[in-house]
């Protein structure tokens, strides 16, 4: 396993649509392991392959101590709303207010290329939406209501 360089907003790879994964290969398995290691090192809750420069439809998420892999994820249902602060490893030090669904149903393949469906709420639903956006070249900044804020200024308010 190895840490991968996280691409920062402005890198053209972050604006491109990713290609579906057709089969599990040793390189893709290694990518998934590296993505988890990189996400944990940066203290994130989710990471999409384009954030490490790979245009594949792969997302890793861990909001609650349960590492999850989503290959070729597709959000098939959304309901309700939640509004809150959101940040991104590709835009370090910044946060913004974003409204997302409070419930999503996502269909994807796991690391064994077996299909599964997951129903997610709250932070996990937010993370699924955020990371799936990355696979279509969309940054959270496209959804920010108002101005981006510095993370430090939020910490000072608390």
Give the residue ranges of the annotated binding site.
Answer: 88, 130, 134
Residue with structure tokens 């669904």? 101
Task: Read off the tokens for 44.
Answer: 């994130």
Catalytic residue, candidates 74, 131, 145, 155: 131
Instruction: Using alpha carbons only, give the angle 99, 151, 127 rounded to the nearest 5 degrees.
Output: 40
Binding residues for Fe cation: 88, 130, 134
Residue 143 dihedral angles phi and psi, to the nearest 5° = -105, -5
Q: Is 60 exposed, middle or buried (0-12, 13-18, 19+ CB in 10 A)?
A: buried
Helix then strand then coil, % of the chain, to nearest 5: 30, 35, 35
Contact 49/58 with Cβ under 8 angstroms? yes
114 counts as catalytic = no
Q: Which residues are catalytic, by number? A: 131
């Amino acid at each position: 396993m190895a840490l991968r360089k996280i691409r920062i907003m402005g890198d053209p790879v972050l604006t491109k649509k990713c290609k579906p994964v057709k089969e599990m290969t040793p390189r893709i398995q290694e990518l998934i392991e590296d993505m988890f290691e990189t996400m944990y090192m940066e203290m994130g809750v989710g990471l999409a392959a384009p954030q490490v420069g790979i245009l594949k439809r792969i997302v890793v998420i861990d909001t609650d101590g349960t590492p999850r892999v989503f290959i070729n994820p597709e959000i098939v249902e959304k309901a309700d709303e939640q509004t809150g602060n959101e940040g991104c490893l590709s835009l370090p030090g910044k946060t913004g207010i974003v409204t997302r669904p409070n419930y999503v149903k996502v269909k994807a393949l796991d690391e064994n290329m077996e299909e599964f469906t997951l129903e997610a709420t709250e932070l996990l639903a937010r993370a699924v939406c955020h990371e799936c956006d990355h696979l279509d070249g969309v940054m959270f900044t496209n959804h920010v209501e108002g101005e981006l804020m510095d993370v430090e200024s939020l910490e000072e308010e608390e």
